[in-house]
């Protein structure tokens, strides 16, 4: 830990639209860990726009309403934020601060799944508004962070669409890594320590000798707990000691709606007679500092999902906890972690929606002691590459030398940004013409649904669930 004299003089404000407390979801965990690591090199404050009930000896932590947030932003040299913060408080875009956008969660892809079943107009509005929330961020940010190289390619396309790939950003760095870098979710530097059992011998129906498959997070609509429950049913016919434990059937952030998939998973377990015998749901969200009690009671970590766009560009943060606890992993193919599991021998990868293949993979890892031990050792070695202090290195380096992007509005009076502003104005003027609307009907749809929105009316949401 750096002393006050060793820390830099840069003032960094980290803002999350997620709840900071004993029970935290992915966005809040990420914000907390960023603040912790950055406090070695900068003067840091961490605030939540929803709720905060945490303390740190390294930096102030608190809840910020709009008035309080204005004071924090006025104090800061650099603002690091997630989710809907910029759209909920649009005046931040005009503040004379350097802005870092944490876009590790492609929320607009989540919305494609989360809004299934909504009325058509509401669904289209939600998806378009979320895309515009993200466009707001990447148009203004001086530095951006995403979760993987594949995700970075995706974001570069969106950056190009909003004119951020231009001669000035390219001239500053032809790789554009000074503008957009890969900063994945990480794991704690300290190893997990179990203070008491969280599952085995504690949950009625789960003995200390049972084999526990852990679902280590929320049950969201873009996941596939259904196939996993079906696989456990098949496996239970061969082994009477297999248990599936869903760790997060609820959510600590009141702004995250209950997902339909939670109900479907519970109903299926009930219908098959597995609930309370082979399949178990933990209704509460486990406190962040107590999750090791549950992780270290598991024999395997599972992550199953469907084959769709959200999967392709996702980064399953729950798997980081599996790595932290040295758990073998069984996962569905198609996402970034499936490639890592396959490449580094961290477990088994199975096709989507294939209960038989999934049951076989679970069986081989749970009941082949030699294979399980070898996988555990490889997981332990790979986990060292994902420590928070390693993965956050690009952000730390930026904060050590913070600078506006070469096309930033902070330098709006310079000739280069006047050129960009003029081009943007002329192009957006074309959007209002009849011919432009004919060639790009999605703009017409957006105008009809939200004619005055532009980027002024935004929902104040949690900004993702990862």
Query: How do the pLDDT tens digits run along the chain, 466 residues long?
Result: 444 444 568 999 999 999 999 888 889 999 999 999 999 999 999 999 999 999 999 999 999 999 999 999 999 999 999 989 999 999 999 999 999 999 998 888 888 877 888 899 899 998 889 888 999 899 999 999 999 898 999 999 999 988 899 988 999 999 999 999 999 999 988 899 999 999 999 999 999 999 999 998 788 888 899 999 999 999 999 999 999 999 876 555 555 667 788 999 999 999 999 999 999 998 877 888 888 999 999 999 999 988 766 666 566 677 889 999 999 999 999 777 888 899 999 999 999 999 999 999 999 999 999 999 999 999 999 999 999 999 999 999 999 999 999 988 665 444 555 565 666 666 666 555 444 333 333 333 334 334 334 333 333 344 455 5
Indicate the pairing of strand 61-63 with strand 78-82: unpaired
| 245: region left, alpha or beta (phi > 0 left; psi from -120 to 50 alpha) | beta
Numbered ranges of CATH 3.40.50.2000 in the chain: 211-386
> What is the enclosing helix (H) or strand (E) of 152?
helix 149-161
User: 246, 318 in Cβ contact below 8 A?
Assistant: no
pLDDT number for residue 336? 77
Give the C-alpha distances (Å, rounded to integers) separating 203 from 53, 235, 294, 347: 28, 20, 11, 26
pLDDT number for residue 287? 83
| Beta-carbon contacts of residue 300 (< 8 Å; ≥ 6 apart) | 211, 212, 213, 214, 327, 328, 329, 330, 347, 362, 365, 366
| C-alpha–C-alpha distance, residues 333 and 314, integer Å | 12
Identify how many contiguous H helices and E strands the chain contains and give both numbers.
20, 13
This prediction has a pTM of: 0.78
Closest C-alpha among 111, 157, 103, 146 to residue 309: 111
Q: Got the DSSP string for 108-130?
A: HHHHHHHTTTS-HHHHHHHHHHH
User: 386, 184 in Cβ contact below 8 A?
Assistant: yes
Running DSSP on this structure, what letter comes out for residue 275? B
pLDDT number for residue 194? 93
| C-alpha–C-alpha distance, residues 358 and 215, integer Å | 14
Q: Got the DSSP string for 20-38?
A: BSSS--HHHHHHHHHHHHH
Q: Which fold has domain 11-185+392-449?
A: Rossmann fold (3.40.50)
Q: Which residue is it, tokens 């074309």?
A: 430
pLDDT number for residue 434? 43
pLDDT number for residue 219? 87
Phi and psi angles of residue 9, each rounded to the nearest 5 degrees, phi first: -95, -5
User: 111, 127 in Cβ contact below 8 A?
Assistant: yes
Q: ∠ CA 341-106-17 to the nearest 5 degrees?
A: 110
Looking at the DSSP bridge assignments, the partners of residue 187 are 387
| C-alpha–C-alpha distance, residues 388 and 253, integer Å | 23
Neighbour-count burial of 197, counting CB atoms closer than 10 A to its CB (0-12 exposed, 13-18 middle, 19+ buried): middle
Query: What is the longest distance spanned by two Cα atoms in the chain?
Result: 72
Q: How far is CA 18 from the centre of its chain?
A: 11
User: 449, 126 in Cβ contact below 8 A?
Assistant: no
Q: How many other β-carbons are positioned within 10 Å of the β-carbon of residue 74?
A: 11
Superfamily name with CATH number, domain 211-386: Glycogen Phosphorylase B; (3.40.50.2000)
């Amino acid at each position: 830990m750096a002393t006050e004299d060793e820390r830099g003089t840069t003032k960094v404000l980290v803002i999350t639209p997620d709840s900071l407390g004993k029970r935290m979801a992915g966005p809040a965990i990420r914000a907390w860990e960023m603040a912790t690591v950055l406090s070695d090199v900068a003067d840091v404050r961490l605030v939540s726009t929803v709720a905060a009930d945490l303390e740190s000896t390294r930096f102030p932590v608190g809840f910020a309403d709009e008035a309080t947030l204005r004071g924090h932003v006025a104090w800061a040299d650099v603002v690091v934020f997630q989710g809907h913060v910029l759209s909920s408080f649009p005046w931040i875009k005009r503040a004379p601060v350097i802005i870092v956008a944490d876009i590790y969660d492609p929320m607009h892809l989540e919305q494609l799944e989360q809004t299934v079943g909504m009325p058509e107009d509401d669904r289209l509005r939600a998806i378009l508004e979320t895309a515009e929330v993200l466009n707001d961020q990447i148009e203004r940010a001086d530095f951006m962070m995403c979760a993987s190289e594949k995700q970075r390619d995706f974001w570069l396309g969106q950056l190009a669409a909003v004119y951020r790939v231009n001669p000035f950003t390219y001239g500053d760095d032809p790789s554009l890594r000074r503008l957009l870098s890969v900063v994945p979710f990480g794991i704690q530097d300290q190893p997990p320590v179990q203070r008491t059992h969280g599952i085995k011998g504690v949950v009625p129906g789960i003995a200390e000798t049972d084999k526990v498959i852990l679902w280590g997070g929320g049950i969201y609509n873009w996941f596939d707990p259904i196939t996993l429950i079906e696989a456990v049913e098949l496996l239970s016919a061969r082994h009477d000691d297999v248990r599936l434990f869903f760790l997060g059937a609820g959510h600590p952030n009141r702004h995250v709606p209950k997902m339909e998939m939670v109900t479907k998973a519970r109903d299926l377990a009930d219908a098959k007679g597995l609930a309370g015998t082979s399949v178990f749901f933990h209704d509460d969200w486990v406190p962040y500092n107590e999750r090791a009690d549950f992780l270290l009671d598991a024999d395997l970590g599972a992550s199953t999902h469907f084959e769709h766009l959200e999967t392709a560009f996702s980064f399953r943060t729950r798997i980081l906890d599996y790595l932290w606890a040295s758990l073998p992993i069984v996962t569905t193919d198609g996402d970034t972690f499936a490639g890592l599991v396959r490449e580094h021998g961290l477990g088994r990868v199975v096709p989507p929606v294939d209960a038989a293949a999934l049951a076989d993979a679970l069986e081989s890892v749970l009941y082949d002691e030699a294979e399980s031990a070898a996988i555990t050792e490889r997981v332990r070695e790979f986990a060292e590459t994902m420590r928070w202090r390693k993965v956050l290195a690009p952000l730390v380096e930026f904060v050590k030398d913070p600078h506006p992007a070469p096309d930033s509005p902070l330098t709006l009076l310079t000739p280069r940004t006047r050129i960009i502003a003029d081009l943007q104005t002329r192009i957006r003027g074309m959007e209002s013409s009849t011919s432009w609307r004919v060639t790009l009907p999605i703009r017409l749809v957006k105008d009809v649904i939200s004619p005055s929105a532009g980027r002024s009316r935004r929902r104040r949401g949690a900004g993702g669930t990862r």
